Structure 1
């Protein structure tokens, strides 16, 4: 069976690898002139490693990642610890894998190499304009007029997916009103007392700062977000250091020192979409951010795309052309509820956990003070401990 995947990012390559290992002939169409991954740090919970192992690239990613010892939530104005969840020992025993962080390129590269080894056709400068469905096939029509035929087409082309625009026609993404600034800091310029093997989040009134080591500990990933009501989407625009420092006057001493380390800042306005009930149209389906884009606050965007890929590959195993519409419906049905919950939880985390102020912040602090380590593990179990997507498909 011939499968066409639109998008050569993490989700698209993971889907291509899963499908190739299920026996499909796979072509990946990437609109840019290179197969690469934009961005910096990414967090990988154990559910991501379950998926990566199923895809056969878990060890390659583990070789490039930093295993994190703690998730910390701090008061960004007083420097006090609000909650800390250990990620060694009992956590790894319960969830089966570490919690790790990695540069996005160090996740993308193993997937890309494995796709090449699996015989996936990888095409750049191949932007999609539309697709056309027939009785037994679907054709991707490219910007230069070329037509690429397959028995199924998967839209893994991100939050502004061309495939989704044709399939759903639901317009532009939802602008969250949150502006994020990102910087990578060489670790040798970070004072020793600030080099923590943790994902640390400093929460303040309508803002928060996150930092953790990436690239095998060579860099510190800094991301600071402000709930400023931004209404226009922005992506990767350079901003002066002085502007970033001026946006966060209320930081405590530790987060202020961290913020001052940043150079070469870039900014984005965060976007997502509401969950939807339709991911498929006959021989076409959505995957990853094209299907369920979510805010970064649950650190599950890439993790959920990897799960999508494993489920899709399992359901395509042994499938023939005539089976495609039914198998794609089963894939969407298996994934919609879980990813919708992750989308909505990510929104709520921004509102109730990271950005509250005044009385709401006091109530948050009181609630967090009551939680034991087991309580925290129980709270994340539905995300980090999920393994049902590893069940074999219908071959």
Structure 2
């Protein structure tokens, strides 16, 4: 190991969006950070990612927003349509006034591109990145945290950040819970626009809402790719089957939808589906000198497009709280971590719990039928082009 890997100020467990963002934020305060990841190499699977102003404002502050915009797309509108009739229900402009109001744009980007940008920024900042490390537990002894890994490796630091995702092993040190199945699964695909006939809506994020299903489409990589995500209630997943060997459920879920939706299903990769989980919010993320962040602390269903956004909020909050306390102009005060972790927990747990619960309710409203669908469509049509419903989520002080 390098000297920094042997004597870090902070060890971060997990090399996804949350872990990389946390590492970048803390090195920005002058911390020596070692990040350990169990995979043999860094990378991110999936397709598109929506970044609202509460996230892009943080990327702007870190000097990364231009890179993200240059490889992504800034859509003009968020559009919701009824998947059975094709009727447009509401349209939100995310251009001029929206950007001015929130101080940052709405951007859609390929998940792997954002991950790469964060990874490269961490390398430039001097984060020590170590692969093939499977962490078993963290212990706190004499105000020092020790990370124990399979094979006998031990990492010691003043603080440990547990960012090991939805199925976090470190979460077991603060809660004996399990991921909660939503009964919904997703198929995803990102295909070249040049290969699609009669392609439309290449400047917008479009969501089709159907009974027990929805479909999302938006452009990626400067409009060269079209990202499609189909989400539906799966009878086999309700019975505990994560991967299902046929696509008959997919076809059945969308059989009554408009031709535009059914045609979009041909853009999906069908070799793998993504079962959708979250967890119940928990009030405490701290165990000794370890604190959770990202999906390890607050996995959220995708309906508000806030998974990565909340991870970035976590990192920025941790950066703010540790600057001037742990990391001061006069050196480092390791003892301050106890107060920082408590403050971080106190600030972030209520915020992310609201996001988690709202995402569940929002998803339920997308998938209703009968009178529920009629009422939902009426409410969507009455929505004005204002910020009444998004200030709590995207606003400047929403995260604190």
TM-score relative to the length of structure 2:
0.92
Q: SS at 2:312's partner residue?
A: helix
Q: SS at 1:63's partner residue?
A: helix
Partner deviation per Cα, 1:180-234 (whole Å, 9 max, x = no partner):
1112222111224424211111111111111111122222111111123533666
Structure 2 counterpart of 1:55, from 50, 59, 62: 62
Report the Cα distance in structure 2 between the residues aligned to 1:388 and 1:137, rounded to whole angstroms.
33
Structure 2 counterpart of 1:298, from 304, 310, 314: 304
Map of 1:16-165 to 2, 5 A cutoff? 16-165=23-172
- Which deviates the most, 110-119 or 211-220? 211-220
1:179 corresponds in structure 2 to 185
Report the Cα distance in structure 2 between the residues aligned to 1:239 and 1:25, rounded to whole angstroms.
46
Report the Cα distance in structure 2 between the residues aligned to 1:225 and 1:388, rounded to whole angstroms.
28
Report the Cα distance in structure 2 between the residues aligned to 1:232 and 1:93, rounded to whole angstroms.
47
Report the Cα distance in structure 2 between the residues aligned to 1:265 and 1:81, rounded to whole angstroms.
32
Partner deviation per Cα, 1:128-175 (whole Å, 9 max, x = no partner):
0111111220111111110011110010110111111223222x2001
Task: Note if 1:380 corresponds to 2:387.
Answer: no
**Pairwise CA distance, 1:24:** 1.0
**Pairwise CA distance, 1:238:** 8.0
* Cα contact 1:239–1:267 (8 A) shared by 2: no
- Which deviates the most, 26-35 or 84-93? 84-93
**Pairwise CA distance, 1:262:** 2.9
Q: SS at 2:389's partner residue?
A: helix
- Which deviates the most, 263-272 or 74-83? 263-272
2:221 corresponds in structure 1 to 215
Report the Cα distance in structure 2 between the residues aligned to 1:55 and 1:166, rounded to whole angstroms.
32
1:327 corresponds in structure 2 to 340
Report the Cα distance in structure 2 between the residues aligned to 1:361 and 1:84, rounded to whole angstroms.
18
**Pairwise CA distance, 1:274:** 1.0
The structure-2 alpha-carbon separation of the partners of 1:13 and 1:303, relative to structure 1 and needing over 3 Å to count, comes to: same
**Pairwise CA distance, 1:246:** 3.8
1:356 corresponds in structure 2 to 368
Structure 2 counterpart of 1:370, from 356, 371, 382: 382
Report the Cα distance in structure 1 between the residues aligned to 2:68 and 2:364, rounded to whole angstroms.
32
Partner deviation per Cα, 1:277-297 (whole Å, 9 max, x = no partner):
001122110101011100000
2:5 corresponds in structure 1 to none
Return structure 1 stretches of 4+ with deviation > 4 angstroms: 232-235, 237-243
1:287 corresponds in structure 2 to 293
Partner deviation per Cα, 1:357-377 (whole Å, 9 max, x = no partner):
000000111112222112xx2
* Cα contact 1:183–1:265 (8 A) shared by 2: no
**Pairwise CA distance, 1:55:** 2.5
**Pairwise CA distance, 1:28:** 0.3
Report the Cα distance in structure 2 between the residues aligned to 1:147 and 1:94, rounded to whole angstroms.
47
Partner deviation per Cα, 1:6-40 (whole Å, 9 max, x = no partner):
00011100000111111111000100011111211
Partner deviation per Cα, 1:50-108 (whole Å, 9 max, x = no partner):
11122332222122110011111101011110111111121111111221110011111
* Cα contact 1:68–1:98 (8 A) shared by 2: no
Task: Note if 1:194 corresponds to 2:213.
Answer: no
Map of 1:302-317 to 2, 5 A cutoff? 302-317=308-323
Length, aligned pairs only: 385
Report the Cα distance in structure 2 between the residues aligned to 1:326 and 1:34, rounded to whole angstroms.
34
Report the Cα distance in structure 1 between the residues aligned to 2:73 and 2:99, rounded to whole angstroms.
14
**Pairwise CA distance, 1:240:** 5.2
Q: SS at 1:216's partner residue?
A: helix
1:339 corresponds in structure 2 to 352
**Pairwise CA distance, 1:239:** 5.5
1:245 corresponds in structure 2 to 251
1:275 corresponds in structure 2 to 281
The root-mean-square deviation of aligned C-alpha atoms, in Å, is 1.8
Report the Cα distance in structure 1 between the residues aligned to 2:68 and 2:244, rounded to whole angstroms.
29
TM-score relative to the length of structure 1:
0.93
For structure 1, list consecutive stretches of 5 or more residues without a partner in the other structure: none
Report the Cα distance in structure 1 between the residues aligned to 2:123 and 2:360, rounded to whole angstroms.
37
* Cα contact 2:392–2:398 (8 A) shared by 1: no
* Cα contact 1:36–1:105 (8 A) shared by 2: yes
* Cα contact 1:33–1:124 (8 A) shared by 2: yes
